Structure 1
Amino acid sequence: MEGRCKFEKERHIRFFTRNLQVLPSRYQVLDSNRLTIAFFALSGLDVLNALDRLTSPNKEEIIEWIYSLQVIPDRNGANSQKCGFRGSFTNGVSTDKTNQSHHDFDSSHIAMTYTGLACLLILGDDLSRVDKYGCLQGVKALQMKDGSFESTLDGSENDMRFIYCACCVCTILDDFSAIDRDLAVQYIMKSKSYDGAFGQGPGHESHGGSTYCAISSLLMLNRFGSALSLPDIRKLQRWCVNAQNAGFHGRPHKDDDTCYSFWIGASLKLIGSFDLFDWDENEQFILSTQDSVIGGFGKWPQSHPDALHSYTGLCGLTMMGLYDLNPITPALNITVKASNHMFSLHRKWAEQGTKVDNPLTTMNSLGGHMGSTLGAFVLGAGVVVLPWLYSYFFPSKIK
């Protein structure tokens, strides 16, 4: 690429701060997904080490708003299978704090439950007001007979994205009792294509986003080592590396797209192969998609910035250890700081007698920035020889 682009950190901070206050009219179609947009903004500020730009009253206001989106069981538990978090008040329903009744058409969405819990962790909340039982019942009700998950109980598509969301919810709540692991793993492995990567479901084309969701889910389910052999990993590694032109693209013969610097970059990070692509080309592609006037990153160069691509672009940069950004935990798609807060809560719950069932804890140290060839060898050998070592490794709609 000609010339070198400058990283506009301050403009990106202002971009995410604005996203928490006002959005362009084109975001109207995403009104039911406000919680996910808030996640991109909050986690983006966290990666930028700029959460302090929000005042304490601002943070408390956001926390209260998130809890107001929680769908909780009524006094009879009649709606327990619909519990979790909704994305907004689009359906005209807010949480009944008296816990007396529920609305027939009020239901959580599994992606909103994940991003809602993640936002609370990012803001330092102790999750004491999360109805853990309700969230887990809501997740459990969404698993289908083939092992996949729907997004909402009232009917929706079911694919790899929602298996990932279910695994994230159970990881954050430190309880995998809501997931039939064998069925979930069976669905994931049936979705593996001939080229070694993963599609959204069985028979589907390999895709960068679904490959990330599959790898992360296997790790969180503590089945990565038993599910994938060393030849499987080498084939997956080859597919991911070949997805780079300058940045990364999600499918063969598609244009590079900012978000895949995270989806595929994180996949390479998780299988210990992050050193095998051209970091400089990836960096310059990501920077070429930033808006030097209002901040944020777009899908392609000269395209309008949006919350998703702005956040995933930052994640692509921080995994390369650039610009003094906060490191992320790739599998959970939150900062190491936020995940450390999560683990502190898990320890607290354990001391209080809460069952600990989190396969990620012991692999926390592997969620940092610098992958290496040695790390790839060790991970590859471990998959074949010592699968029990994988007690866990760290890390919208995907296009």
Structure 2
Amino acid sequence: MSAAEAAASEGVSSDAAPRLNKPKHVQYWKRCLKVYLPDYYTANDSTRMALAFFTVSALDLLGVLDESMKEEERRGYIDWIYNCQHPDGGFKGFPGGSGNQWDPATVPATCFALLSLLVLRDDLTRVKRRECLLWLNRMQRGDGSFGETLSGEGKVEGGYDSRFGYTATCVRWILRGNAEGEVDGVPDVDVDAFVRCVRAAEAYDGGISEAPFHEAHGGFTYCAVSALAFLDRISSLSSIPLTVQWLASRQTLTLTSLDVLSTDGDEATAPAVVSTPPSPSSPGFDVPAELRCSPAGFNGRCNKLADTCYVFWIMGSLCNLSALDVVNVPAAREYLLEQTAHRIGGFGKSPEDPPDLYHSFLGLAALALGGGEVPPFAEVKPLVPAACVSVETCEFLVGLPWRREVGPREPEAIERYLG
């Protein structure tokens, strides 16, 4: 097989920008939807709601959700999600067991459940909205942070980091929009206290960490910035330019532990940062012009390797901050399509890794990002960065009659992506 034929078989043009092998990715996600997952997913059974969200949202981004299921199947998937709804509010991560002790509602599962229902075009009228909002209030601690779940004694359990704040504020946005005051007789969460938690976790270099005085991390930064986007409080960050600079610094040519690069005839470790040519909003990184054409992914922390998921976490954060132009988007897409996209469909964590649902979804989601002068990748639907679902799905939500009554005004970081 010639090099051109090999490139074409992988969905990459030998004389043009890399392309997504869409049929293979569609096949991968249909297989995830229709058949049993490999046995190593057994350990993820209690978080099955997340796997369901990755699957239906990926098919939506690929534009094949309707053709991938019959109407009867769609209703069955919706019923399965509602079967996980807890009578006291929120959703469980899977339908097994009964009672708070063994399968309580969790904040992440509730977020994934609501987003999955919207992707499946359910109007959420069967959601116990008032109970869910009351439960969400109970999930916030006195210091403003959100936990994962409630113990049998009503104690908030789980971490204090921005992952739970992100999923909690997403649930809040879906069920009450940007409304102020009470909704269905339920007071709002303490927004100011949560914002103080985010500010406390900001690192000296502009990134956001798991907890005060910890190292900044790309995933926690995305969760914190997106949570502030849902709350219309992005301006609460201590220094947006510094956060943008930290995010831009995450783009790297070091893709694997074996990567070396020679620019003068001698072996040298690949430089940590690659950037676009200088622009008015660029932090001002300077790298050789020949390096700007190389695949360049993103890492989550300083001096780490590139990883598929961080392409989304970093670029999604920059989209929320209206600063995607400070990184080399074509190089990031080349990293995804030429380095981590798998020949059977889906994306692996790193080059040569097999695909998994988590990285496969976030790889697609990263291709769907765009903002300002940077359009989304042509073969996937455009995506709202904070919500991590297609623009069409968000437009469906904000167009629901009950939703227009509750939250007629959307946060600015959401509104700019809607038609």
> TM-score normalized by structure 2?
0.77
Q: Within the alignment, does 1:14 sit opposite 2:27 as a pair?
A: yes
Q: Within the alignment, does 1:42 sit opposite 2:52 as a pair?
A: no
Residue pair 1:19, 1:38 contacting (<8 A) in 2 also: no
Task: Check 1:105–1:137 CA distance in 2 against 1; reply closer, same or farther (3 A cut).
Answer: farther
Q: CA deviation at 1:158?
A: 2.2
1:133 to 130, 133, 145: 130
Aligned to 1:67: 82
- Kindly report which structure 2 residues correspond to 1:10-159, keeping only aligned pairs within 5 A, or say none: 10-21=23-34, 22-52=36-66, 53-73=68-88, 83-90=89-96, 92-93=97-98, 102=99, 104-154=101-151, 155-159=157-161
Aligned residues: 342
Q: Any idea what SS the aligned residue of 2:379 has?
A: coil
- Structure 2 residues without counterparts, runs of 5 or longer: 1-12, 152-156, 180-186, 253-295, 371-375
State how far apart, in whole Å, the 2-side matches of 1:359 and 1:285 are: 34
Q: Within the alignment, does 1:184 sit opposite 2:181 as a pair?
A: no
State how far apart, in whole Å, the 2-side matches of 1:339 and 1:207 are: 27
Task: Check 1:200–1:33 CA distance in 2 against 1; reply closer, same or farther (3 A cut).
Answer: same
State how far apart, in whole Å, the 1-side matches of 2:84 and 2:188 are: 21
Question: In the TM superposition, what whole-angstrom CA distance separates every residue of 1:243-272 from its partner, at most 9, and x where no partner exists?
Answer: 001111111111100011111001111111
Question: In the TM superposition, what whole-angstrom CA distance separates every residue of 1:87-140 from its partner, at most 9, and x where no partner exists?
Answer: 1134x23xxxxxxxx555441010000000000000100101000012112211
Residue pair 2:63, 2:380 contacting (<8 A) in 1 also: yes
Residue pair 1:137, 1:178 contacting (<8 A) in 2 also: no
4+ residue runs of structure 1 moved beyond 3 angstroms?
2-6, 102-106, 175-178, 347-351, 362-365
Higher-Rg member (1/2): 2
State how far apart, in whole Å, the 1-side matches of 2:318 and 2:229 are: 13
State how far apart, in whole Å, the 2-side matches of 1:364 and 1:144 are: 27
Task: Check 1:103–1:311 CA distance in 2 against 1; reply closer, same or farther (3 A cut).
Answer: closer
Aligned to 1:219: 229
Q: Any idea what SS the aligned residue of 1:188 has?
A: helix
Q: CA deviation at 1:206?
A: 0.6
1:205 to 215, 220, 227: 215
Question: In the TM superposition, what whole-angstrom CA distance separates every residue of 1:35-88 from its partner, at most 9, and x where no partner exists?
Answer: 100100111111111112222111111000000000013xxxxxxxxx200011
Q: Any idea what SS the aligned residue of 2:368 has?
A: helix
Equivalent position amino acid for 2:172 in 1: C
State how far apart, in whole Å, the 1-side matches of 2:417 and 2:242 are: 22
Q: Any idea what SS the aligned residue of 1:46 has?
A: helix
Q: CA deviation at 1:316?
A: 1.1
Q: CA deviation at 1:19?
A: 1.6
- Superposed CA RMSD: 2.1
- Structure 1 residues without counterparts, runs of 5 or longer: 74-82, 94-101, 369-393, 395-399
Task: Check 1:103–1:153 CA distance in 2 against 1; reply closer, same or farther (3 A cut).
Answer: closer
Q: Any idea what SS the aligned residue of 1:116 has?
A: helix
Aligned to 2:237: 228
Aligned to 2:363: 313
Task: Check 1:104–1:282 CA distance in 2 against 1; reply closer, same or farther (3 A cut).
Answer: closer
Aligned to 2:348: 298
Equivalent position amino acid for 2:243 in 1: L
Larger % of helix: which? 1
Aligned to 2:388: 333
State how far apart, in whole Å, the 2-side matches of 1:363 and 1:6 are: 29
Question: In the TM superposition, what whole-angstrom CA distance separates every residue of 1:178-200 from its partner, at most 9, and x where no partner exists?
Answer: 42111100000000000011012
Q: Any idea what SS the aligned residue of 1:18 has?
A: helix
Equivalent position amino acid for 2:58 in 1: G
Aligned to 1:397: none
State how far apart, in whole Å, the 1-side matches of 2:389 and 2:335 are: 23
Residue pair 1:221, 1:359 contacting (<8 A) in 2 also: no
